[in-house]
Amino acid sequence: AASPGASQVPRYVRVNTLKTCVDDVIDFFKRQGYSYLGKAASVEELRALSGKKFLLDLHLPELLVFPPQTDFHDNLLYTSGHIILQDKASCLPAFLLGPAAGSYVIDACAAPGNKTSHLAAILKNKGQIFAFDVDTKRLATMNTMLMRAGVTGFQLAQQDFLTVDPGDPKYSKVTYILLDPSCSGSGMVNRVPREEAAPSAERLQALAGFQRKVLSHALSFPALRRLVYSTCSLHREENEDVVHAVLQERGLAFRLVNAFPSWPCRGLAAFPGAESCLRASPADTLTHGFFVAVLERCGEGAAALS
């Protein structure tokens, strides 16, 4: 299918359950003159949205879908942190990590913090999130955003995740890691035209090298049970190839989980089992381009978390 641009990707609105609930947000938008059409049954229904109409997403709970270009940046619910303006594909990592309330979680490359706030909502603010990033400016934005979203129980550090010591007793109870590292961003549909955005072979190689290193480092946390690796890249070098290389390096310690079997768009056939990974694209899932892999420690107890 032809790849639609940003103009055809709907406006997705994640309800921040730390501050409100889906029904109250639906009522709010109805009072603002929008018609609620119920829960979508297909991606086609999302594609057909127009005017002042909205739906509940078919895949993700707590996600409302409005027509493309709907702008809520000045909306009271957004400025008060009751809703988060986040693409549907970028809601997948925290949802698929699914940490139980009370868990200890690392968000390794966290700023500007949309996925951290999603994790906090899933944890119901119970537990502990250790969030890292190297970029001061993005961390400042993140701090404001987390405050606005009512997130508590997190420690935000300006630190290269590669220098975080897995042996530090502080992290001995970390059972979940979300890893959303820097990537080429080739899946972002509102960036510069795709040809101009195409990364050089050298840049791809450098990014993939970093991504492999950081994934391998994350898997070395001793109590880790489940990890989600995600990028907003379309390049196999940054996605399936990274996951495959690191799984091979780790022997039989971790396995790929067949995440979200009903999700229509799967990993490229780069290695046996790669279809357990998820992909997203404007044409297939009406989202930005995205990749997600869920890894779990093999052996006793791991199944209890899936």
Does 133 interact with ligand SAM (rule: CB under 6 A)?
Answer: yes
**Is 232 one of the annotated active-site residues of the chain?**
yes
Kindly indicate which of the ranges 3-11, 63-71, 109-117, 165-173 contains the residues binding ligand SAM, using the contact rule CB under 6 A. 109-117
Q: Which of residues 167-196 bind ligand SAM (CB under 6 A)?
A: 180-182
- Min dist. Cβ of residue 247 to ligand SAM (A): 21
CB 294 within 8 A of CB 256: yes
150 in contact with ligand SAM (CB under 6 A): no
Considering the candidates 232, 265, 277, 298, report the single residue annotated as catalytic: 232
Of the candidates 9, 7, 3, the residue with the CA atom closest to the CA atom of residue 288: 9
Span of 40-48, 54-62, 156-164, 269-277 interacting with ligand SAM by CB under 6 A:
156-164
- At 48, list the tokens: 């057909």
Q: How many residues bind ligand SAM (CB under 6 A)?
A: 18
Q: Rounded to the nearest 5°, which phi and psi values hold at 196?
A: -70, -30
Say how far apart CA 173 and CA 169 lie, in whole Å: 8
Stretch 110-129 residues interacting with ligand SAM (CB under 6 A): 110-115
Cβ contact 84:117 at 8 Å: yes
The residue type of 138 is R
Buried b (16+ CB within 10 A) or exposed e, 213-229: ebbebbbebeebbbbbb
Buried b (16+ CB within 10 A) or exposed e, 74-92: ebebbeebbbbebbbbbbb
Comparing CB distances to ligand SAM, the nearer of 56 and 218 is 218
The residue within the footprint of ligand SAM, chosen from 29, 54, 95, 161 (CB under 6 A), is 161
Residue 49 or 99 with smaller CB distance to ligand SAM: 99
Residues at the interface with ligand SAM (CB under 6 A): 109-115, 132-135, 138, 160-162, 180-182
